[in-house]
Structures are given as structure tokens and as C-alpha cells.
Homo-oligomer: A and B are copies of this chain.
Amino acid sequence: MDTPQPRSLKEKQRQERELLILQVAEDVLLEKGYRDTSMDEIAARVGIAKGTLYLHFAKKEDLMLAFFEREMVGILTCLKKIYATHQSVQSRLEKFVKTIYSDPKERRGHLMYIFINSDDFTMTVKHQAQPIFAEIVQEVSALLDEGKANGEFDTLIPTPLMTTSFFSLLSPRTYRSLIERGYDPKEIMRYSLGIYFRGIGGQFSFATEQQS
């Protein structure tokens, strides 16, 4: 605390760069997958030396973990914000998914899927990120329980099953294949959500929005 300003200046630069690294790591991860993401490429794209990467993150795993956490914190924040809303549970979950998927190229949604479903990545990294991961799952579970309690969803389906189904909704690969066939992201979203919510006992009319 004896040198607060200079430190915070340096510190600010440092954090900006760290952010940049995380963003680049995200880019590369989404493009190439975990194993084909090399530290060399990340450093090159960020425009720093490889060694500098290691000043921020001691291991590739740590970078990926930090990156994962950054994303997951964002998702969790979004989830909590929506959680506090006064709407039906279904509306809130729909809102959540749509928000997650509303960034360019649906990065956040795909990342969430990868974190939860990918082996390559998950095996190496996730066991270290249990807490936040558990919190996200917990939050969604709580919402689903609320939905069961207020009659929106089917009470016969165990919540954990509802939850895992929720997170399996949209695999990036199949998503991409649909995009390639010319489907509109919003349409894909709507139908996927529709299948899910009707499946767990919610109300969903595929016709309605089509008519309006």
C-alpha cells in the first residue's frame, strides 16, 4: 500500500493484458480445440513473448482454468441477475440461454457447453474449477425446483436429470451443422428451448411466434 498509484498503473496494464490473453485463448480454443491450442499461438496472437504468458499463468492448464473461470463467472453473474427477475421460471431460463447465446458467434454458449461436456478440456481442467461449476449447476437446479414447485414443470422428473438435460441442449457441433444448413440462430434457439421446456412439462407453442 506504500506505492498505490504506480502499482495500480502497472497493475492495470497487467490486468488489461491478462484480459487480452484470456480473450485470445478463448478464440483459439473455440477455433482449434484444447489440444490444438498451443501456447505459441496464443502468445503470437496476443503479440507478446511466450515467456510473458508464463508470468501470468504458470501452466497451460492454469491459463485455461483462469479463462474458464472468467467465462463462468460471467455466466454465473448473468444467471444471478436473471434469477432475481419476477417472471416465470421458464421465461427466466429462456432469457438466460438467449443472453448467453447473444454474443457474436455464440461464443459463451459454446464455451459453456464445452466446459460441461468436453472430455479433452474438462478432464484436464474442470476438477480444478469445481466450485464455480457447481454453483452454476446449483443455480439452474434451484430455478428448476422453483418451477416444479410453482407448477410450471413436471414434478416427477428428478431435478438433476432436468439440469443435465438443460446443459446438453445445444452442442456446438450440431449447432454449427444447423447453421450450415441455413437455419437462423434464433430459430435454432427457439426450437431447442421449445423441445426442452415442453419436455420437462412447461408450456411452449411452436406456432405462436410463427404467427405473429
Chain A positions within 8 Å of B, measured between CB atoms, are 32-36, 114, 116-120, 122-123, 154, 156-158, 160-162, 164-165, 167-175, 177-178, 181, 183, 187-188, 191-192, 194-201, 206-207, 210
Going nearest first, the 7 A-B pairs with the smallest beta carbon separation are A199-B199, A195-B199, A35-B35, A164-B174, A156-B206, A33-B119, A33-B120
Cross-chain contact A118 with B173 (CB below 8 angstroms): yes
The answer to whether B160 and A181 have CB atoms under 8 Å apart is yes
Is B35's CB under 8 angstroms from A36's CB?
Answer: yes
A-B contact pairs, 7 of them (CB 8 A): A157-B195, A157-B206, A160-B178, A160-B181, A162-B195, A196-B199, A198-B198
Cβ–Cβ contact B174 & A117, under 8 A: yes
Contact B117 A173 (CB under 8 A): yes
Say yes or no: A157 contacts B123, CB within 8 Å.
Answer: no
Given contacts A161-B192, A198-B201, contact A33 B123 (CB under 8 A): yes
Out of B119, B156, B161, B165, name the residue touching A210 (CB < 8 Å).
B156
Whether B174 lies near A158 (C-beta < 8 A) is no
